[in-house]
Structure 1
Amino acid sequence: MQTSISDDTWVWTTAGGCASSHGFVSNGWGQYTQISGKGDRTGDGETDIVARDATGTW
């Protein structure tokens, strides 16, 4: 994932170690200092995204 200077967040998928596709996620993520996929934390069968802000709150 990457948050751009315009505060847009994009995600890239990989295949064989190379970027294979990307897509726009949303904007407004610039307040977070770390964004990561952390598995299925909610139990819905989908990979969840977690983010941490400057105070360390997830």
Structure 2
Amino acid sequence: MVDEEFALHVEASAYLAGLRASGRAFNTEKTYAGRIALYLSYCLGHGVDLPG
């Protein structure tokens, strides 16, 4: 079950889809996904407004 606290981040998902479409290695996408998640969590926790 997915926690309702989590939401899909459209821009981050599109970026990762672009990596996949450009033929990047699976591990590259996996690493970037984790780092993007950490960044977005930091922003949310510190009240940083993201553009978009």
TM-score normalised according to structure 1 size: 0.20
TM-score normalised according to structure 2 size: 0.20
More strand by share: 1
